[in-house]
Amino acid sequence: MSSNGLRPETIAAHALRAVDEATGAVVPPIYLSSTYARDENYVPKLKENYVRAGNPTLWQTEEAIAALEGGSSALLFASGMSAITTLFETVPQGRHVAAPDVMYYGTRDWLQRLERLGRIRLTLFDPRMPGALEAAMRKGETDIMWIETPLNPTWDVIDIEAAAQAAHATGAILAVDATATAAVTTQPLKLGADIVFHSATKYLNGHSDVLAGVLVTRDETPRWAEVKALRTKIGAPLAPLECFLLMRGLRTVFVRYRQASANAMAIARHFEGHPKVARVLYPGLSSHPGHAIAARQMRDGFGGMMSLLVKGGFEDAKTLCTKLKVIVPATSLGGVESLAEHRKSVEGPESPVPDNLVRLSVGIEHVDDLIADLEQALAGM
Ligand SMILES: Cc1ncc(COP(=O)(O)O)c(C=O)c1O
């Protein structure tokens, strides 16, 4: 239960409903204005008077997400990447950052760019190795430990409580990219993380029609004030129309996520041991090395994200994507429609992702249609 006594499902379903005092509208108006007038004493009527610093539609969306994550404050950005890059702007010159070696490649690319420029020092660790989290940290030097769980696109699971302990023991903060678990189904802040991030483009919106990112903090620290100020300076807040669409999507996040999780579990079980599939990577399977941790820290299922390692190589995995008729061969994840992607083609030859990996973002369709589609595509591979 949240501090106001409501369960997350209720907070999400009511995310749009702050009954408009002037009209009684159950769905609130969208404040599109880019500027807000001052009163007769020349005092701004709102806490911000220019859209780049904030607006009522943005604040309403942020409040709903902060409540869902159990955080004290949320900041919405024009994309997931603008949220991530703004957070890393707060790392003091020359300080150290630790992050997993396999993760969303856009974040890895950005961190490696900062390292090349001499802005930060970087350790990329393999979270599957025992003691890797502690070994990656440098006492008094590491500023941020950044983790993602489950990790895109291998879906390895990182123990958030253990990561928080390792980060805090050296004076660093822990920031968690929880994009793959649809806010609220993991709640990293309750497991000790300081900041949680979502590409809201994905499950939070859920309809593949909004680009957005969000950071949520446990405490309103000086770093958080800096992130907020930087968002205004850089000019990266989410625009009001997108906020409204995101809030609309957010209302159904639980039912979408539960259905996607149930479908993914059925697909994982069906294709585990399939003659054309070398391995199914899905934390819901008891054969998955991260299953026990996932079962502890994820609720409402294990999510809709999984990968198939097909028998064969680069071309076979790519061919599978071209043979699909229901599942759409497209990037992104967390929408109501299922998507498939050959990640090595997207990430390039330097990527550590296996050649034979096909990533699936499982949607909310009838699962039998999805299984039949994958069966016919594997047969034609
Ligand atoms: C795990 C993860 N983190 C961050 C991002 C970046 O978010 P956006 O595309 O909204 O900028 C993505 C996008 O695919 C992602 O999958």
State mean pLDDT over 161-183. Answer: 94
Structure tokens at 185: 């189904």
Pocket test for ligand 1, best of 198, 202, 341 (most atoms within 8 A of CB): 202
CA distances to 60, 173, 340 from 230, rounded to whole Å, are: 20, 19, 35
- 284 in contact with ligand 1, CB cutoff 6 A: no
Predicted confidence band at 363 (pLDDT cuts at 50, 70, 90)?
very high
| Mean pLDDT, rounded, of the chain | 95
Strands 357-361 and 339-342: antiparallel
For the CA of 103, the closest atom of ligand 1 is: 1
Q: pLDDT of 285-338, one tens digit each?
A: 999 999 999 999 998 899 999 999 999 999 999 999 999 999 999 999 999 999
Bridge partner list, 177 = 148, 197
Q: Say if ligand 1 is within 6 A of residue 361 CB.
A: no
Q: Give the mean pLDDT of 210-222.
A: 98
CA angle, 195 as apex, 190 and 200 as ends, to 5°? 100
Distance between CA atoms of residues 296 and 303, nearest Å = 14
Q: Is 63 exposed, middle or buried (0-12, 13-18, 19+ CB in 10 A)?
A: middle
- pLDDT (tens digit, 9 = 90+) per residue, 119-134? 999 999 999 999 999 9
Distance CA 204, CA 176 (A): 16
DSSP states along 75-90: EEESSHHHHHHHHHHT
CB-ligand 1 contact for 104 (6 Å cutoff) = yes
Nearest CA to ligand 1 atom 8: 80
Q: Are 308 and 324 in contact (CB under 8 A)?
A: no
Q: Is the pLDDT of residue 214 over 90?
A: yes
For residue 148, pLDDT beyond 90: yes
Question: Which pLDDT value is given to residue 183?
Answer: 62
Average pLDDT in the 258-277 region? 98
Question: What is the number of the ligand 1 atom nearest to the C-alpha of 202?
Answer: 10
How many other C-beta atoms lie within 10 A of the C-beta of residue 104? 21
Task: Quote the CA–CA distance of 199 and 202 in Å, as a whole number.
Answer: 6
Distance 138 CA to ligand 1 centre (A): 27
The answer on pLDDT for 5 being more than 90 is no
What is the rounded CA–CA span in Å between residue 90 and residue 110? 14
Give the distance (Å) from ligand 1 centre to CA of residue 45: 35
State whether the beta carbon of 179 lies less than 6 angstroms from ligand 1: yes
Please tell me whether residue 210 adopts helix, strand or coil conformation.
Answer: coil
Distance 258 CA to ligand 1 centre (A): 21
Please tell me the least confidently modeled range out of 35-39, 297-301, 341-345: 297-301
Average pLDDT over residues 357-374: 98
| CA separation for the pair 307, 292 (Å, rounded) | 19
Beta-strand relationship, 305-310 and 357-361: antiparallel
Could you give the angle at the alpha carbon of 125 between the alpha carbons of 123 and 126, nearest 5°?
A: 170
Pocket test for ligand 1, best of 201, 207, 305, 332 (most atoms within 8 A of CB): 201
Segments making up each domain of the chain, as ranges: 8-250, 253-379
152 Cβ below 6 A of ligand 1: yes
pLDDT greater than 60 at residue 3 = no
CATH 3.90.1570.10 holds for 8-250: no
Ordered alpha helix ranges (H), the chain: 8-13, 56-69, 80-89, 105-116, 132-136, 160-169, 222-234, 240-250, 253-271, 291-297, 314-323, 343-347, 367-379
- Ligand 1 centre distance from Cα of residue 188 (Å): 17
What is the reported pLDDT for 25? Answer: 85
Q: What is the pLDDT of residue 100?
A: 96
Nearest partner of 128 among 103, 158, 150, judged by Cα: 158
Instruction: Please give the Cα distance from 36 to 16 (Å, whole number).
Output: 22
From ligand 1's centre to the CA of 83, what distance in Å?
10
**pLDDT reported for residue 381:** 86
The DSSP line for 128-143 is: TSTTHHHHH--TTTEE
Which residues form the catalytic set? 52, 104, 177, 202
**Which residue's alpha carbon is at the smallest distance from atom 9 of ligand 1?**
80
| Band of pLDDT at residue 18, cut at 50, 70 and 90 | low
The pLDDT-based confidence of 28 (bands split at 50, 70, 90) is: confident
- The rounded Cα 301 to chain-centroid distance in angstroms is 16
Distance CA 344, CA 277 (A): 17
pLDDT score at 29: 87
**Angle of CA points 156, 301, 147, to nearest 5°:** 35
Span 204-217, mean pLDDT?
98
Range with the poorest average pLDDT among 92-96, 127-131, 166-170, 265-269: 127-131
Q: What is the model's pLDDT at position 184?
A: 66
CA dihedral 263, 373, 149, 90 (to 10 degrees): -120
- CA-based nearest residue to 86, from 217, 186, 189: 217
CATH architecture for the domain at 253-379? Alpha-Beta Complex (3.90)
